Amino acid sequence: MMSTHIIDPTKELTFEHLNILVRPGTTIELSDEAIKKIEKCRAYLDKTVKDSVMPVYGVNTGFGSLYKKNIPAESLTELQVNLVRSHACGAGREIPSEIVRLMLALKVQSLSYGHSGVQLVTVQRLIDMFNAGICPVVYEFGSLGASGDLAPLAHLSLPLIGEGEVILDGERISGAEMNRRMGWEPVAFKSKEGLALLNGTQFMSAFGVYCLMQARRLSIYADRIGALSLDAFDGRLDPFEDLIHIIRPQAGQRRTAEAFRKLLKDSEMMAREKKHVQDPYSFRCIPQVHGASKDAIRYVESVFLAEINGVTDNPNIFPDEDRIISGGNFHGQPLAMALDFLAIGLAELGSISERRTFQLVSGNRELPDFLVANPGLNSGLMIPQYTAASIVSRNKQLCTPASVDSIVSSNGQEDHVSMGANAATKTYEVVNNLYSILAIECMCASQALSFREEKTSPFLQEFADNFREKVSFIDNDRIFREDIRHAEEFLKEYTLNSPI
């Protein structure tokens, strides 16, 4: 169903809005207030450029360490075009279309506040591209996470002037061909526009927003699959009793324990007499570990909500105050540190998941070795645990923080950078890896449950039955790569309803 999101600078952009934005077919448009703010700011900047002979960074000067070079009025348009061209030097893989679409929407949001000095026609062209499903080709590397996401945003902006490349209806075409097919004229940049487009944190923000959307989903799955594993392992519910968590008032910990009590309500397995006094930490300490990740996700969400509801280019224009101020809102340090934290939180969900997988396949608690009826002749789920272990190790490597690094650039003018773009892309990899790790645990938990006479809770049984439609019971060895792929697809496509 088609829907339209109104970009309004007077209203907060929320994750609920973002969930609408990423749906296929969603369109965006500016509110009347946004149009007024954009036009007012541009008119103020035009008057300032015309009336003043004073240098204003990025408006009538060079960029970076070239800020001392004054640019004559007749060359201001050329200055902005040259900026976009020269900064379009991305490298590495092309980033996914869902990230590019978020970049477009978040760039429009930032420009809508009327502190950037762009023309209305420039913002409208970004909107037209989003609404037509046009995705500029943007590359993984080229941003230091300060002075804005320069190279990625340059590639995002090239099609506005009929250059660069885009994906339109699945076909890779030039920016010039895009204009021809759409019947558009290239945008004629005015002063500061190239800088407004390139200065900003939309590459980091788009990756972060996407990762947070998946993090919410993955956190729910970690609880659900963890509960399935706990039941299949014949684990105890005692560590999830509320009394324990009241006396250590960590919010995520208590929420996790509550979730497990509800997930396992009316489980026959959980109700049966237990032979074991304690469970391994990967089961017993789920509230503490999953809860810490929940708290990390919640904190990172607060950072990104502040970011996407703000202005991150430079210089900032304040028409009512009659001021143009050069500052550093493009610096990605808040995002870089938050993304590093998010990567750690998600990696830990994968680390404890792999330990539960290990316990399930180890022949403990009356379960067969590697969860097959005839181990020896069959290796069963021995090697999927290896795969999970290799991915967990990779995630640990990816959790080396990017935000503690900085390399001097622009001839020393940009002497401290955030490396937030690298934090963003590695967190994205952690997210995708976590789907694989949880998919393997889900395979093992559902397989283990099949060897039990008692049933799990009605809620989890329905979840396991739906999973079984994608990944059937394993009687004998087969090519498990296909099972892992199907399990991943299930986790990405399944409609999450919750007992909470």
Query: Does the active-site annotation cover 428?
Result: no
3-state secondary structure the chain: CCCEEEECCCCCCCHHHHHHHCCCCCEEEECHHHHHHHHHHHHHHHHHHHHCCCCCCCCCECCHHHCCCECCHHHHHHHHHHHHHHHCCCEEEECCHHHHHHHHHHHHHHHCCCCCCCCHHHHHHHHHHHHCCCEECCEEECCCCCCCCHHHHHHHHHHHHCCCEEEECCEEEEHHHHHHHHCCCCCCCCCCHHHHHHCCCHHHHHHHHHHHHHHHHHHHHHHHHHHHHHHHCCCCCHHHCHHHHHCCCCHHHHHHHHHHHHHCCCCHHHHCCCCCCCCCHHHHCHHHHHHHHHHHHHHHHHHHHHHHCCCCCCCEEECCCCEEECCCCCCCHHHHHHHHHHHHHHHHHHHHHHHHHHHHHECCCCCCECCCCCECCECCCHHHHHHHHHHHHHHHHHCCCCCCCCCCEHHHCECCCCCHHHHHHHHHHHHHHHHHHHHHHHHHHHHHHCCCCCCCCHHHHHHHHHHHCCCCCCCCCCCHHHHHHHHHHHHHHCCCCCCC
Which one is catalytic: 44, 57, 139, 281?
A: 57
Active site residues: 57
